[in-house]
Amino acid sequence: MTTAARRSVPGPRPTAGAPVADCTADTAGGLTFDIALGGRKERWDAGLLLHGAQDGADPVRLPLVPAGAEVLRAVLPSTMRLAEGRWRASLVLGDRAPRRLRSGAHDLRSLVARVPRTGRTWLGVRIPYRTQGGGLSVRSWHRWPHAEASELRVEDGGMTVRGRLHGADFADGARLEVRARDGGAVALGVPLVRDEHSFTARLPLEGLAEQPQESGWLLWLRPGGDVPAVRVARILDDLVDKRHAVRYPAVPLLSGTKGVRPCYTGDNDLAIRWESRTPADDLRTGRTALPG
């Protein structure tokens, strides 16, 4: 499943005194939410509501149960499917309107360098995060097969991508492709060096100089055979948005007046951006590893 998630409409910010939810992730991909309600007893009608991910996605209500003194707990198990997108978290008590939750402490250590279990038929990734207004939201990915980038090296006018394919096997004709974000036309393609489910490919970026795309390109992995191409992304860690957290060197093109730069989209898909100017101090080569 590789359909891009549609952006949700920003929801209301938490009000002053809104309840706070702490989140803990487990190694399987599940999430636990703990909410301190200050003296409230157990109630059968309390729930944590995940809503607003995208048009047509039904809200997901998780029951809240006592988990110690004055704490209610909800669990989003790894076995529950959650549509790809950004979900707002709210508290529901009885017939009252949902009340936006504030983001508390997040323990996401188990998400760093996560390895999906074998035998799965789909991959779900959920990362809780604090919104600009202080609210709690959950970013969800739902993909299968999935091509996870693990390392990227930019040097000598090209980029080398290493990663792993989950949910499919390689076959003859497996390739890494650079496709235009507008229209999906293939601008560049190279064969893979494969080792079971791991892959390495080097892209000579100078080939993009003759077909500039102001909107940039996305990287796709074609496993070969009858398996459809899948986007290359980095989602098996604890960084919900890598656009500003991870920065790679630019590669100069056209005598240095233009350039391209590997980057990430807001969905953490690996991309290449077209730049009309390339600062001289950023035209160095070097190795920049992905975090985690």
Q: pLDDT digit string (tens) for 119-132? A: 778 999 999 999 99
- What residues does 270 pair with on adjacent strands? 264
Share of the chain above pLDDT 70, in %: 86
Specify the pLDDT at position 106: 97
**pLDDT tier for residue 278 given thresholds of 50, 70 and 90:** very low
Specify the pLDDT at position 13: 61
What are the residues whose beta carbons fall under 8 Å from the beta carbon of 125, sequence distance 6 or more?
29, 140, 141, 142, 143, 235, 236
Amino acid letter for position 235: I
Specify the pLDDT at position 2: 39
Q: Among 12-21, 51-60, 242-251, which is the least confidently predicted range?
A: 12-21
Judge contact between 15 and 102, C-beta under 8 A.
Answer: no
Specify the pLDDT at position 26: 94
Residue tagged 């986007």 (tokens)? 231
**159-194, pLDDT tens digit by residue?**
999 999 999 999 999 999 999 998 889 999 999 999
CA 80, distance to chain mean position in Å, is 18
CA 213, distance to chain mean position in Å, is 24
Q: Among 22-31, 242-251, 274-283, which is the least confidently predicted range?
A: 274-283
Share of the chain above pLDDT 90, in %: 67
Q: What is the mean pLDDT of residues 88-108?
A: 94
